[in-house]
Structure 1
Amino acid sequence: MIQRQETPEALYIHIPFCTNKCHYCDFNSYILKGQPVMDYLDALEREMEQTVRLLPPGQIQTIFVGGGTPTVLLPDQMESFLKRVHTYFPDKSAQLEFTMEANPGTTDLEKLQAMKEGGVNRISFGVQSFDNALLEGIGRIHNTDDVYRSIENARQVGFSNMSIDLMFGLPNQTMAAMKDSIDKALELELPHYSIYGLKVEENTLFHNLYQKNLLPLPDEDDELDMFLLIMKRLQAAGYGQYEISNFAKPGAESRHNSMYWLNRSYYGLGAGAHGYMHGKRHVNIKGVQAYIDATYKGRPLLEENEISEQEAIEDFMMVGLRLLQGVKRTDFKRQFGLELDTIFSGQLTKLLGQKLLEATDEGYRLTEQGILLGNDVFGEFISITAE
């Protein structure tokens, strides 16, 4: 199993601070006010040092800084943070993709300049909607003016590789509002768009409202129509749907997220971060102060589990089929030394018969219907014993 031998070429770093907590968010994030930000960055450095001592990096291909909202860091904090990243994970690849998540309204010119000078070359903006009433209703603190200002600032500093997130299935969202958001998003002529349906997660304000029947969600048919509209509009505008939720101009696909979808190893650093190194998946301690304290004693692990070959095989199918190119026999053989068609003969025959999968020259991929019923497809590959 290749994951037990390969050195990760991808790095994820978690900055858990936010200006506020959105109503739908169950990510490991905390309101910025009063937080020990510099102590956290010092703790991150200790985890970096411990991690590279355990598993020295080779040639890192992708870095992704997520949150939380990494761009709540002040310019001097941003500069300090990025210097530390390059100290322990030096930029050896001329093709390094270095992405940072950002919220509109948290990226002034000075901060963007610090990001640019610190090696960030891709920004993913959490826009979610171009309807100010919807933004307020989901707990976002930015408005559409902030979106335009942030993207203009980024372009002024020299960023061209940018993406925005849009959401559908929001409370009180209509087809007309969805169409308007797509229109305005496409007018920006960005190279990449990510589209996510709202999921009502536990331990969120929306979950509490949903339990009380106070969350006015669109019905399932309207939500499906929104997704179909998004796919149609983006494809017509020249964006390839390379993953269920992601669309890009040729060459602008997210290389970092593709590492996950290809079931590759990656470093995961920061409070609550997940990582996958030498065949073991780990989750870090989540609380900010608890994480800081733990780094004085060693790696700040909440739990670490060795992934069996069976689990890795299932993961390969479930994440790999999210890619519209599908899964490849050669990739499966390279990772596991096994034949894809032999291991999953019954499941593949069933899904082909249901027209949820189709065969390609190299393997298998979702059909148009399969894209809409992805979870049903992925579920077929759980708890299959490798032969």
Structure 2
Amino acid sequence: MVTAAYVHIPFCEHICHYCDFNKVFLKNQPVDEYIEALLEEMRRTMKYTPASGLRTVYIGGGTPTALSAEQLNTLLKGMKEALPLYDVEEYTIEVNPDSIEEEKLEVLKANRINRLSIGVQTFNESLLKEIGRTHTKSSVEDAIRRSRQAGFTNISLDLMFGLPSQQPAHFTETIKEAINLDIEHISAYSLKVEEKTVFYNRQRQGKLTLPPEEDEVMMYQQLLHRTKEAGLIQYEISNFAKRGYESKHNLVYWNNEEYYGFGAGAHGYVNGVRHQNHGPIPKYLKAIEQGELPTFQTHQVSAIERIEEAMFMGLRKREGVNIAQFEKRYGQSLLNIFANEIDHLKQRGLVRSRDGAIQLTEEGLLLGNEVFEQFIAVLEDL
């Protein structure tokens, strides 16, 4: 049963140097047409693969708040008509600090959005310019103040580390600033230089200076230390929350559960099939105009792939992969099919058995990708 939906808004008022998500400059784009096509995709999807009721919805981008207040209202009201949103528990939208005006906050609140994810990345002014962000430290503080005044009680900040020229002291200060704002949730990810980004081009030209690996490790260790000291619970490798404010939507991904994906370039996972929509907006709009779903490609997930995904996604959670639940869901013993991998990782001190689950150790947190790789392409037959 699908209980989650991701909605993609591909428009941005500026393009950040690290971003490889499907996005375009807002100016001169067919925004109104896109919103109507997006709502039509939702209506068609509910006709073919209906949901009895969604529990979480996440609107990401791009920059959803690059839309005008009127456009946001059209989108959100249309979603209430197109999707079964009557039982939604967590309704998140991504916002940029310099594009969240009071009128937009009122629209979000009126349409039952109850969680804001604010893209901050860093509080260091020079680093903000280096990565192509246009907001400032004070605009983040203003955005949070306005959001609180509008009645939002669940706010998450996105942070990044391993940025060009970033030093451990820079990131430590950013963590302290975030904690001092007394928000409910922090997501912090290390920079990955992806193709088709400004940073990728600079790296190819030898013009990108990244911190050494040991500095990046120090930044992550400071993240663990400072958030724990502040009483935030680490419930996933990169995510920290006050108790009860863990992201329900992101847990859908980490629990390897199914979800709808709406919008240009969006990914979905429904009835055992993963799909990706057309990314270019003209192709997306054309598919809707022709009465089709805007699907670019599909992949039937095999039993082996589902099990591998359950391991490398589930191990991201601090609670790990529950052994009994795994067997109930997949009809296989986790301890049998991955006996060699688990034994090897235990000997290296990277995983442990605790509370009926296989979990990453503290050392395993630092080498997560290396651990996950152990569970990929090791099964031949089921």
Cα contact 1:46–1:296 (8 A) shared by 2? no
Residue 363 of structure 1 corresponds to 357
Separation in 2, partners of 1:361, 1:168? 31
Q: Tell me the amino acid that sits aligned with residue 347 of structure 1.
A: E
**How far apart, in 2, do the equivalents of 1:272 and 1:149 lie?**
32
**Residue in structure 1 matching 2:99, options 96, 106, 115:** 106
**Where does 1:11-30 land on structure 2 (aligned, <5 Å)?**
11-30=5-24
Distance of 1:13 and 1:300 partners within structure 2: 14
Aligned to 1:300: 294
Equivalent residue for 2:116? 123
Cα distance per residue 1:176-217 (max 9 Å; x no partner): 221221121111001100001111111111011111221121
Corresponding position of 2:165 = 172
Contact 2:186/2:239 (CA < 8 Å) preserved in 1?
yes
2:214 is aligned to 221
Shift of 1:67: 0.3
Amino acid at match of 2:312: M
Q: How far, CA to CA, are the matches of 1:273 and 1:332 in structure 2? A: 28
Q: Runs of 5+ in structure 2 lacking a partner?
A: none
Q: Is the 8 A contact 2:43 2:83 kept in 1?
A: no
Shift of 1:91: 2.4
Does 2:335 match 1:341? yes
Whether contact under 8 Å (1:281, 1:306) holds in the other structure is yes
Aligned counterparts of 1:50 and 1:338: Cα–Cα separation in 2: 36
Tell me the equivalent position of 1:4: none
Amino acid aligned to 2:101:
D
Q: Greater shift after overlay, 26-35 or 80-89?
A: 80-89
Q: Structure 1 residue aligned with 2:264, among 262, 271, 294?
A: 271
How well do the aligned residues superpose, as a CA RMSD in angstroms? 1.0
Alpha carbons 1:243, 1:322 under 8 Å: kept: yes
Q: Deviations over 1:315-363 (max 9, x none)?
A: 0001000001000122212321221111111111111111100001312
Q: Does 1:57 align with 2:51?
A: yes
Unaligned 5+ runs, structure 1: 1-6
SS in 2 for 1:159: coil
Task: Measure the CA separation in 2 of the matches of 1:77 and 1:333.
Answer: 46
Q: Secondary structure at the match of 2:174?
A: helix
Q: Secondary structure at the match of 2:6?
A: strand
Provide TM-score, normalisation by structure 2: 0.98
User: Could you tell me whether the CA contact under 8 Å between 1:310 and 1:384 is conserved in 2?
Assistant: no
Aligned equivalents of 2:204, 2:150: Cα separation in 1: 45
Paired residues, number:
380
What one-letter code is carried by the residue in structure 1 that aligns with 2:231? G
Tell me what 2:229 maps to. 236
The aligned amino acid for 1:355 is: G
Which runs of structure 2 are paired with 1:308-319 in the superposition (5 Å)?
A: 308-319=302-313
Q: Larger RCO: Structure 1 or Structure 2 (Cα < 8 Å, ≥ 6 residues apart)? A: 1
1:246 aligns with 2:228: no
Equivalent-residue separation in structure 2 for 1:333 and 1:176 (angstroms): 45
- 1:337 and 1:216 map into 2 onto residues whose CA distance is 48
Runs of 4+ in 1 over 4 A off after TM superposition: none
Q: Match for residue 3 of structure 1?
A: none
For 2:350, give the aligned amino acid: L
